[in-house]
Structure 1
Amino acid sequence: MAKARIRVALIDDHPIFRSGVRGLLGETAGIEVVGEASDGRHALDLVGRTLPDVVVMDITMTGMSGLAVARALRQAGSAVYIVFLTVNEDLAFVDEALTAGAQGYVLKRSAGASLLEAIEAVVSGGRYIDNEMRSPPSLPGRTEAGPPVPHAGEEGGLTVREREVLRLIALGMTMKEVSLAISISVASVDTYKIRGCKKLGLRSRASIVRYALGQGWLETESKRHPSDRPSSVM
């Protein structure tokens, strides 16, 4: 009997980052993204309509925080697994997340290497806390695709054009769409893709997405405000 697919709902108010995560999950056998929402209030409706197994969600969102969504789901009796995917590296947020009913906590900068592990862990009945939140950084490891897990700012000698082509591919664009977006031929897109992948040791679209997530290419930068501290999050 075939193993059931893990149904995932994705909640994040940064559309570019959300697109990258959707691409990563969409390239993964056994996982299906059943819906997306850009804020907490729509998240509750989405979960009610799609009945996912796992909610992957940011903490800091407009209108209603991820912590408030988690509490509301638990109060409503939902048994959905919750994995927070966030830039918040304060340990206080981990405690808040678990108290609110989450089973997983992953940093956005390590999503490419850790998110799939987190989803599998919580569905299996465990908890998953990003390794960066549990212990000092370790020596670079290796992703499923083989190359070292990237650190922000280390771009393997990529040219500006190679970087842009890989970033757009990570967003889910086809070769033709990349060609139109940056006004070069499809053949040139293919050349830049091949060169960039060779420099980085990447061998699939999924590995390109993982690298892009690790580099922060898909994340809209935002400054945290004092109100984002755990004590004042809804």
Structure 2
Amino acid sequence: MSAVRVLIADDHPLFRDGMHGLLDSVEGTEVVGEASDGEEAVRLAGELSPDVILMDLNMPGKNGIEATREILQDDPDMGILVVTMLEDDDSVFAAMRAGALGYLLKGAQQDEVLRAIRAVANGEAIFGPGIARRVMGLFSAPTPRAPQAFPELTEREEEILALIASGHDNAEIADRLFLSLKTVQNHVSNIFRKLRVADRVQAALRAREAGLGG
């Protein structure tokens, strides 16, 4: 099995030296280059085609998020493992959106770093324990409801307004929503009153301006 080829991108020489020494001391990894900023990381990624890039986020000039995004635009299969001091939600999720496969905090145990490098080289997503809990919390959180186009209307009234804008008459709306014709007529009257419109045409125009009934 060939060694995992690693590019280290970090603006701190001591960190680069320490990581280089660690990867040189174990079998299965090979450091092919070092970058001290985002611009250099992008350039070396193109020149060296590493399997995994260890990417710091807070670097001068082009930061790690921008570098990650640019590198993956050129080579979507390249594995990027963020190794940083930043543990705030914005940084974590920005890295994920940019396409990073892994996220570790500096100070992670050596075994954890090596395991993460191998996982990312295999195309697997991996996060440090604290980061993983935060990511799971994001995906398990309830999705907030999208704001209504017309807050003054109930959900049912807005649903009926969208159908009016699509050209349905009251009888068709009643059949579609399994409501009585009288109930639909009452809803339509309430919609006209709340939107201060005189008829279906004006109501439909208001709805289409808000993106309903398209």
Q: Where has structure 1 moved over 6 Å in runs of 4 or more?
A: none
Change (3 A) 1:130 1:54: same
Match of 1:127 in 2: 125
In 2, Cα distance between equivalents of 1:44 and 1:107: 22
In 2, Cα distance between equivalents of 1:130 and 1:9: 20
In 2, Cα distance between equivalents of 1:96 and 1:21: 24
Instruction: For CA contacts below 8 A with separation 6 or more, give which structure has more relative contact order.
Output: 1
Q: How far apart are 1:134 and its partner, in Å? A: 2.8
Match of 1:42 in 2: 40
Change (3 A) 1:58 1:135: same
1:1-234 equivalences under 5 Å are 3-135=1-133
Q: How far apart are 1:17 and its partner, in Å? A: 1.1
Q: Secondary structure at the match of 2:54?
A: strand
Q: Secondary structure at the match of 1:109?
A: coil
Q: Secondary structure at the match of 2:107?
A: helix
- Would the aligned equivalents of 1:88 and 1:107 in 2 still touch at CA under 8 Å? yes
Gaps of 5+ in 2: 135-214
Question: In terms of Rg, which structure is larger?
Answer: 2
How many residues of Structure 1 are paired with residues of Structure 2 in the alignment? Answer: 134
Deviation digits for residues 41-65 of structure 1, max 9, x if unmatched? 0111111111100000100100010
Q: If the length of structure 2 is used for normalisation, what is the TM-score?
A: 0.60
Q: Secondary structure at the match of 2:41?
A: helix
Q: If the length of structure 1 is used for normalisation, what is the TM-score?
A: 0.55
In 1, Cα distance between equivalents of 2:33 and 2:15: 15
Q: Secondary structure at the match of 1:10?
A: strand
In 2, Cα distance between equivalents of 1:88 and 1:58: 9
Change (3 A) 1:6 1:57: same
In 2, Cα distance between equivalents of 1:19 and 1:77: 27
Deviation digits for residues 201-234 of structure 1, max 9, x if unmatched? xxxxxxxxxxxxxxxxxxxxxxxxxxxxxxxxxx
- CA root-mean-square deviation: 1.5
- Would the aligned equivalents of 2:79 and 2:123 in 1 still touch at CA under 8 Å? no
Q: How far apart are 1:113 and its partner, in Å? A: 3.7
Identity %: 40
Deviation digits for residues 158-192 of structure 1, max 9, x if unmatched? xxxxxxxxxxxxxxxxxxxxxxxxxxxxxxxxxxx
Q: Secondary structure at the match of 1:61?
A: coil
